[in-house]
Structure 1
């Protein structure tokens, strides 16, 4: 017979902090995906609009998206909430 979860010091069940951590980090992953995806889409749209031979808008804005996503991750992890 499994033992019941031991409550944490704040009185909540032990599993709730794990669920909260999982939700926090998967939310961060979806934010990163959305930021990079949006900037990539914007770059592709600009390349098509200005009929570029090379995908410079796509490459440049994708890199901007990666840097912004990394900044957002670092900021949210150091803030601690």
Structure 2
């Protein structure tokens, strides 16, 4: 037997697919930020700096890198 296309099911599948893509993108951004921030914290700890310079740099660098990767993936999705 031949199945009929159900437009409501197709719409729900598209919505779910979008949610999965964007939640994965958000998870990737969080992981990148946390990894670079952790690296900066460990570098400050190793160098025994009074001011956490590498932690601050790591925070900014993590955000910039995560935005770069997110935009690159976002452009690839379209």
RMSD: 1.9
Post-superposition offset of 1:7? 2.5
| TM-score normalised to structure 2 length | 0.85
How many matched pairs? 74
Q: As a proportion of its length, which structure holds more helix?
A: 2
> Which consecutive segments of 4 or more residues in structure 1 shift more than 4 A?
none
| TM-score normalised to structure 1 length | 0.82
Equivalent residue in structure 2 for 1:39, among 32, 36, 39: 36
Structure 1: any 5+ residue segments left out of the alignment?
1-5
